[in-house]
Amino acid sequence: MIQKWYLHVDLDAFFASVEQLDNPELKGKPVIVGGKPEDKRSVVSTASYEARKYGVHSAMPIFQAYKLCPNGIYLRGRMERYSEISYKIMNIFKDFSPDVDQMSIDEAFIDISGTEDLFGKPEEIAFKIKKIIKEQIGLTVSVGCAPSKYFAKLASDINKPDGFFMVKPGEEQNFILNLPLKKIWGVGNKTLETLNKCGINTPRDVLEKSIESLKFICGNSTGTFLYNVVRGIEGEKFDRKTKSHSISAETTFPYDVRDIYTAETYLLELVQTVMFRLLREGGFSRTVMVKIRYEDFSTVSIQETIEYNIITVDSFYSLAKKIFEKKYEINRGIRLLGVGLENIEKEERPIQQDLFETSDNKKYAVEKAILSLEKKHPEIKVQKARLLNQGLKK
């Protein structure tokens, strides 16, 4: 078994850093993105690290931020620019692994297992990525490196900004026991409050409790998750492969897309990403989801379930395309397109599978073969002809 390694990469003070990048006069200054002081109802999207020293943070009302930091530079924000940079950065990650799991506009997990021969040790890959983003984009990121996604996520937060932290196999428990309880991903404000009320203030306090009492205090699911996580075991909550789950991918465009052909080309690219992730984990799904976010941020998300398992890119794409064409309101600009497979099960449903024509099973075998080729040689990118013709960067 090869050692699993994941990176979690998170940009530092993302929106504020982009503003400082585009206007060097703002470098080293407290920059607050979200609104002008006179925008009564606005909230802070993010604040530069210089502004954070004054106590300003995301989700704080702008008027409150202004009280704490009257000398700050207040900006309303430019989503298109942030999306454009995010898109470029996600593409840099894809040069290191075919398995990039974008979590938000500025963070992603990168599965770098088995890529040592190509790119070096996990920490070397982390520093390569930091260097490339600094040189090509001009921004700093913080990277966490661990044998699981969950611990990589926690690790990326340790030495922010421009940080790096590695949790080695076997070190997970020691690492988590030394974190403040509120830093445990999955412990929200409500859970924190409940735990504090019961005198549980640190991960070590959690460790002393039995699974029964944790379940009693926080409910079955959170209780079990907490019991495991302080033992260094990635909580069941975050292990997507044990229960029915979904896989999705989405793209925010650098500009609003109105042309159906372009939209469908991106759709195909997203379908491929999701399909390959499904093949890699060996699950089965019969439900396709398509998400369209228009230029005014209104969002529709449509699901359709069919009789048989979706086992090829072609069958997945034709269904996604059908849903898209049915729902897309012509002439409206699209800012984001997403595609997913829902209710993914580990077990195949043999009865429905018989309904599938054999040619699809053949294609499935071909796609599995391509996947194993990609696994062995991640530098080779196997793409559908349409993407290659368009010269789209994957």
Interface with Mg ion, residue 50, by CB under 5 A: no
Look at residue 234 and give its three-state secondary structure: coil
Q: Are 257 and 263 in contact (CB under 8 A)?
A: yes
Which tokens is 170 given?
Answer: 């076997």
Helix (H) or strand (E) holding 339: strand 334-344
Binding-site member from 11, 108, 133, 270 for Mg ion (CB under 5 A): 11
Interacting positions 26-45 with ligand TTP (CB under 6 A):
45
Least Å distance between CB 36 and ligand TTP? 16
- Spacing of C-alpha 149 from chain mean position: 10
358 class by beta-carbon count within 10 Å (0-12 exposed, 13-18 middle, 19+ buried): exposed
**What separation in angstroms does the CA of 155 have from each of 14, 15, 173, 223?**
18, 22, 13, 22
Q: How far is the CB of 171 from ligand TTP (least distance, A)?
A: 23
Options 102-110, 149-157, 170-178, 179-187: segment touching Mg ion (CB under 5 A) = 102-110
Q: Does 272 bind ligand TTP (CB under 6 A)?
A: no
Note whether 14 binds ligand TTP by CB under 6 A. yes
104-112, 128-136, 203-211, 244-252 -> range binding Mg ion (CB under 5 A): 104-112
8 A C-beta contact, residue 316 and residue 269: no
Torsion angle (degrees, nearest 10) of CA 320, 343, 304, 325: -20
Which residue among 37, 61, 114, 161 contacts ligand TTP (CB under 6 A)? 161
Instruction: Read off the amino acid at residue 304.
Output: E
Using the minimum distance from each CB to ligand TTP, give the nearer residue, 85 or 230: 85
In the set 54, 58, 116, 332, which binds ligand TTP (CB under 6 A)?
A: 58
Q: CB of residue 42 vs ligand TTP: minimum separation in angstroms?
A: 11
For the bound state, the minimum distance from the C-beta of residue 301 to ligand TTP, rounded and expressed in Å, comes to 20
Which one of 107, 172, 367, 374 is the catalytic residue?
107
- Sorted by sequence, the CB contacts under 8 Å of residue 298 that are 6+ apart come out as none
Whether 107 is a known active-site residue: answer yes
Q: How crowded is the C-beta side of 358, counted as CA atoms within 13 Å?
A: 0
19 binds Mg ion (CB under 5 A): no
Binding residue for ligand TTP, selected from 56, 105, 139, 339, defined by CB under 6 A: 105
Indicate whether 109 belongs to the interface with ligand TTP (CB under 6 A).
no
Rounded alpha-carbon distances, angstroms, from residue 94 to 122, 158, 354, 377, 386? 15, 24, 36, 13, 19
Using the rule CB under 6 A, is 138 a contact of ligand TTP?
Answer: no
Residue 95 or 162: the one with the smaller Cβ distance to ligand TTP is: 162
From the CB of 47, what's the least distance to ligand TTP, in Å?
Answer: 8
Instruction: Provide CB contacts within 8 A for 222, sequence distance 6+.
Output: 186, 191, 214, 237
Q: Which of 6, 8, 9, 46 binds ligand TTP (CB under 6 A)?
A: 46
Question: Least Å distance between CB 16 and ligand TTP?
Answer: 6
Q: In what order do the strands lie in the sheet with 245-257?
A: 245-257, 334-344, 287-294, 299-305
What residues line the site for ligand TTP (CB under 6 A)? Answer: 10-15, 45-46, 58-59, 105-107, 160-161
Annotated catalytic residues are 107
What residues line the site for Mg ion (CB under 5 A)? Answer: 10-11, 14, 106
